[in-house]
Amino acid sequence: MAITRRGALRASLLGGVGAAVATAAPASAWAVPMPSPSPRPRDAASALRLLKEGNRRWRRIASRHPNEGAARRAEMALGQDPFAVVLGCADSRVSPELVFDRGLGDLFTIRSAGQVLDSSVLGSVSYAAEHLEVPLVVVLGHASCGAVTAAVDAHRTGEVPHGHIGYLVEQILPVVEATPDDGDDFVDDCIRANAEYITDQLREDDDLRDLVDAGRLDIVPARYDLETSEVAWL
């Protein structure tokens, strides 16, 4: 069987492990999703339910650490079939696989400070949505986000940091400037607003809009609380 266009793109992004097994696996292995031990959710509602269940286990210190064994590792060497994209902050305290108690190959994880969108991030989301047919994208903000806090500081002082950090701040500043400053919770209000803003940007993106309109993709904002370990769905 010839490798499909989608399968070829998937193979090109699988990385070193995929390349190492390419000579041992049939060409058709790259073109089709690999079966999972449990059915992979094919709709956003089912995917969201698994994430909520996983976060509940994480909060209760009852994580199961699914899909980490030898069989799963061998399976994932031949192809990936994640059921959700998590666009999260690069903050070391907010690891999506831990927060949602998921394992190898379950989540297509993309991380940038403040969930800031650029061409690389957008291309990664588009790849997962179009070629891996992931039905759900979660934009995961979190409490005490340093990138959003820096944007709030720049808003209040009028001083934007130089260099790459300045780029991040400039991307978040429009959200901060559009958010009412009602007092002590202003930073957290901006964190929530930023997740919602990025969600709206993704829904309107040229590569994703048709999938959203057709009901094949849902994009939802969320906020992770560092103290309670709970994900709130916005």
Region 88-115: mean pLDDT is 98
Is 81:40 a contact under the CB 8 Å cutoff? yes
- Distance of alpha carbon 211 from alpha carbon 215, whole angstroms: 6
Which pLDDT score, from 0 to 100, does residue 9 have?
44
Q: Give the integer Cα–Cα distance in Å for 149 and 176.
A: 10
Task: Give the model's confidence band at 38: pLDDT under 50 very low, under 70 low, under 90 confident, else very high.
Answer: low
Surface-to-core class of residue 108, CB atoms within 10 Å of its CB (0-12 exposed, 13-18 middle, 19+ buried):
buried
Assigned CATH topology for domain 33-233 = Beta-carbonic Anhydrase; Chain A (3.40.1050)
Q: What is the DSSP letter of 31?
A: T
| Concatenated DSSP letters of 37-92 | SSPPP-SHHHHHHHHHHHHHHHHTT-----S-SHHHHHHHTS----SEEEEE---T
Percent of the chain having pLDDT more than 90? 81
| 3-state SS assignment for residue 205 | coil
Q: What is the pLDDT of residues 48-93, one digit of tens each?
A: 999 999 999 999 999 999 999 999 999 999 999 999 999 999 999 9
Query: Cβ neighbours of residue 96 under 8 Å, at least 6 residues apart?
Result: 86, 88, 102, 107, 109, 140
- Tens of pLDDT, residues 133-161: 999 999 999 999 999 999 999 999 999 99
Domain ranges within the chain, ordered by starting residue = 1-32, 33-233
Dig out the tokens for 62 from the structure.
Answer: 């009852």
3-class DSSP assignment, residue 104? coil
Kindly tell me the number of DSSP H helices and DSSP E strands found in the chain. 10, 5
pTM of the complete model beyond 0.75: yes
Q: What was the pLDDT predicted at 44? A: 98
Q: Which amino acid is at 50?
A: L
* pLDDT value of residue 21: 32
Q: Tens digits of per-residue pLDDT, 155-211?
A: 999 999 999 999 999 999 999 999 999 878 999 999 999 999 999 999 999 999 999
Tokens 């089912």 belong to: 46
